[in-house]
Amino acid sequence: MPAPAVFLAQAANGLTTIDGVIIFFYLAATLALGTVIARYVKSSGDFLLAGKSLPFWAVGMSIVVSDIGAIDMVSGAGAAYRYGLAQANFDWIGSVPAMILVGFLFAPYFWRSGVCTLPEFLGRRYGNGVRWFQAVIWLGFLLSMLAVMLWASAVFLNTVVGWSIGTAIWVTVAVVGFYTVLGGLTAVVLTDVIQTVVMFVGAAALLALSFWKLGGWNNLVEAVSARGPEFANHFRLLLPNDAATPYPWSGILLGLGIVLSTAYFSSNQAVIQRVLGARSEWDAKASMVFAGFLKLFVPVLIMIPGIAAVALHPGLSNPDSAVPLLVRDLLPPGLTGLVFAAFFAALMSSVDSYLNSSTTILVSDGYQPAYQWIAGRPAGDLQCLWISRILTVALIVTAGFVAPVIERFETVYLAIQTLFSLFQGPTLAVLILGIFWRRTNGWGAISGLVLGVCFSGSLSLVGGSLFPSEDPFLFVAFWAFVFALVVTVGVSLVTPPPSPERIRGLVFGEVLHDATTQALLAERAARTDPQPP
């Protein structure tokens, strides 16, 4: 079980009746919204991509809240308690520039291609081998995280309302499953909008009370600096390479700023699916820019309270308890309920994101190609809609049975994140070359992916002796990206080039100037249903 969820649950011991009422009404409003949205879901395109009807502001807010998550809120503040303001780089350097880059360079290609998933996009560009390789990777990650977040939600509800772990798991399954099964991506995004507002208001209240308790920013800096020389770097954004931290400036700029952040926002199905549901190409671009704008405030709302806890609760043996302790000690009744509603909102947002994205990959990259191969014709739209709903139920029920297993493996959350990070660099290399170099072919892509992942895994085993960092994952990501880039280019040059038909509308240049391609893209962009391979 991820430690942050345990500390978060422990802080709930002081909840009053009014706090419980606030949380209850929040859950009731979420269920009501799902019921209303269900009336407008008439096709698989409505379910999987919201009928390409989402405005930019809704998509942007949904991307931010699903990216943060309650566990990240607690562990992010805990990392700020331990390492200081350098943790903010995961948003200011590791999110905002990548979001803007993805918005202008990648989002237009994804939206105009008419696909439902990133594996489907890569399949069009390179072939089904690359498509299914990526689909398996993403499906494994999404399903694993779905079970983890269900367990985190159960621990939270167990302490807040006193339900057993089993009851809490199935209540979460029922609530999230209800509005996701009925409303699909539209319900996920619109509930995320509410969850974003609740999260930002709750976090702002905690930040304001932390400043009030300490007497302002200057007093915070003085109090933390007075704790000793080990806190000398707590208010520095870029740390030297010899600092005892996993965030040296070189790793932040190379591994995080160039590779991990761009790979995450350009290939994460939970992010890309929301962009694909935008109502226009402009909204697709603007959604990422707006999400980047909102991300600017995340370090202020989450990291600063973590640093404030150094002064208010010095010497914590586990920094992840920092924010839960602030919630317990600073917030009055009512506000405490609002903050815990924000935490549960973040948990539900993570669960519904992983659930809906998993369903989309299974339908778009599994069921539809399999049906086409067996029946010799595409599956009908209504058929895909019902399969999507059935799979959504099956996935969340299965995750509900798997979730209790998480308790037996305390490091499972970290292990999942670490293993997944091995794929980020190679995936980004293949994606960039596929969009910006027409000579890249399927042989080069699959070679870059497979050998890049092997290189990434091998380098992570010996990276501690090669790179100046407590945890070399940032450097591993950068060099795995470079390695996969070289392999993909090399193999593509010694094997036949892709046919013009395969790359039409998918490579930079012809998208802008070719009239026939523009007509093809307009036809693709109008599609909202899964397409056969």
Radius of gyration of the chain (CA): 23
Assigned domain for 121 exists: yes
Distance CA 56, CA 142 (A): 24
Q: Are 103 and 289 in contact (CB under 8 A)?
A: yes
Residue 204 exposed, middle or buried by CB count within 10 Å (0-12, 13-18, 19+):
middle
**What parts of the chain have a pLDDT lower than 50?**
1, 3-4, 7, 532-533
The answer to whether residues 191 and 33 touch, using CB atoms and an 8 Å cutoff, is yes
pLDDT at residue 56 in the model: 94
Q: How far apart are CA 77 and CA 3, in angstroms?
A: 13
Q: At what angle do helices 128-161 and 70-83 cross, to 10 degrees?
A: 80
pLDDT, residue 533, reads 45
Cα–Cα distance list, 343 to 103, 105, 163, 173 (Å): 28, 33, 17, 17
CATH of the domain at 274: 1.20.1730.10
Helix, strand, coil content of the chain in percent (nearest 5)? 80, 0, 20
* Identity of the amino acid at 521: L
Reported in sequence order, the residue ranges of 380-507 that DSSP labels E, i.e. its strands, are none
Query: Which residue is it, tokens 């949380």?
Result: 23
Pinpoint the alpha helices (H) of 104-127: 107-113, 118-126
Q: How far apart are the first and last CA of the chain?
A: 39
Strand, coil or helix: 508: coil
Q: Is residue 455 part of a domain?
A: no
* Residues in a beta bridge with 54: 278
The predicted pLDDT at position 182 comes to 82
- Give me the pLDDT at residue 156, please: 67
CB 84 within 8 A of CB 244: no
DSSP code string of 129-192? HHHHHHHHHHHHHHHHHHHHHHHHHHHHHHHHH---HHHHHHHHHHHHHHHHHHHHHHHHHHHH
Cα 168 to Cα 149: distance, rounded to the nearest angstrom: 12
Token pair for residue 473? 């994952």
Phi, psi of 54 (to 5 degrees): -85, 135
From the CB of residue 17, how many other CB atoms can be counted at a distance below 10 Å? 9
Residue 499 lies in a domain: no
- Decide if 203 is inside a domain: yes
**pLDDT, position 505:** 76
**What was the pLDDT predicted at 382?**
87
Secondary structure of 351-384 in HEC code, one letter for each residue = HHHHHHHHHHHHHHHHHHHHHHHHHCCCCCHHHH
- With tokens 């150094």, the residue in question is 310
Q: Which residues contact 255 (CB under 8 A, 6 or more apart)?
A: 473, 474, 475, 476, 477, 478
- CA nearest 9: which of 374, 345, 343? 343
CA distances from residue 465 to 182, 420, 479 in whole angstroms, order as listed: 52, 22, 15
Does residue 457 belong to any structural domain of this protein?
A: no
Q: What is the pLDDT of residue 532?
A: 46
Task: Encode burial over 359-386: b for 16+ CB neighbours within 10 A, e otherwise.
Answer: bbbbbbbbbbbebeeeeeebbeeeebbe
The residue type of 213 is K
Say which DSSP state 499 is in: P
Assigned domain for 289 exists:
yes
Domain count, the chain: 1
Helix (H, G, I), strand (E, B) or coil at 297: coil
User: In angstroms, how far is CA 172 from the centroid of its own chain?
Assistant: 20
pLDDT at residue 414, as a whole number: 56
Q: What is the pLDDT of residue 352?
A: 82
The rounded distance, in Å, linking the Cα atoms of 355 and 269 is: 11
Q: What pLDDT sits at residue 138?
A: 85
φ/ψ of residue 487, rounded to 5:
-65, -45
Domain, as residue range, for 160: 3-413
pLDDT in the model for residue 472 = 67
Whether 515 is in a domain gets the answer: no
Dihedral (Cα; 278, 282, 287, 293), 10-degree rounding: -170
Q: Write down the pLDDT at residue 247.
A: 64
